[in-house]
Amino acid sequence: MAEPNNPKEPLAPKTPGKDGGQTVLERAPKLHKPKMFKVVLHNDDYTTMEFVVWILEIVFQKNQDEAFALMLAIHETGRGVAGVYTKDVAESLCDRVVELAEANGMPLMCTTEPE
């Protein structure tokens, strides 16, 4: 009968390549920056300027001056980038904008697009 292995005794290292063993080469993992997406707010004739400023402050953490300047840019050009985020974050923020707009009876449109 074979004796049980003693866990305190170290096992003899296997020589790579012998006895059907495999040699593993360690490489640094290849990390890629995630693709970034713009969150775009679109101008319309019904959403109030105050509501757009509020959205920019609440959802996108803009201060009052930044929010007001961006709201004016959206109003004058028809659209504006509220921020650039990874895809999941951008989609979540866009969904939150749409939910808040609908809850407040505003037709504010928000989309995401690759940077």
Determine the structural domain holding residue 88 and report its residue range.
Answer: 44-114
Q: State pLDDT tens for residues 9-47.
A: 555 555 555 566 677 778 888 889 999 999 999 999 999
Q: Is residue 35 part of a domain?
A: no
Q: Are the C-beta atoms of 69 and 82 separated by less than 8 Å?
A: no
pLDDT the model gives residue 52: 98
pLDDT, residue 3, reads: 57
Residue 112 near residue 39 (C-beta atoms within 8 A): yes
The Cβ of residue 43 has, within 10 Å, a number of other Cβ atoms equal to 18
- For the chain, what is the domain count? 1
Residue 3 inside a domain? The answer is no
**pTM (2 d.p.):** 0.73
Residue, of 55 and 13, whose pLDDT is higher: 55
Tens digits of residue pLDDT in 62-74: 999 999 999 999 9
31 part of a folded domain: no
The burial class, CB within 10 Å (0-12 / 13-18 / 19+), for 85 is: buried
Classify burial at 70, counting beta carbons within 10 Å of its beta carbon; exposed 0-12, middle 13-18, buried 19 or more.
buried
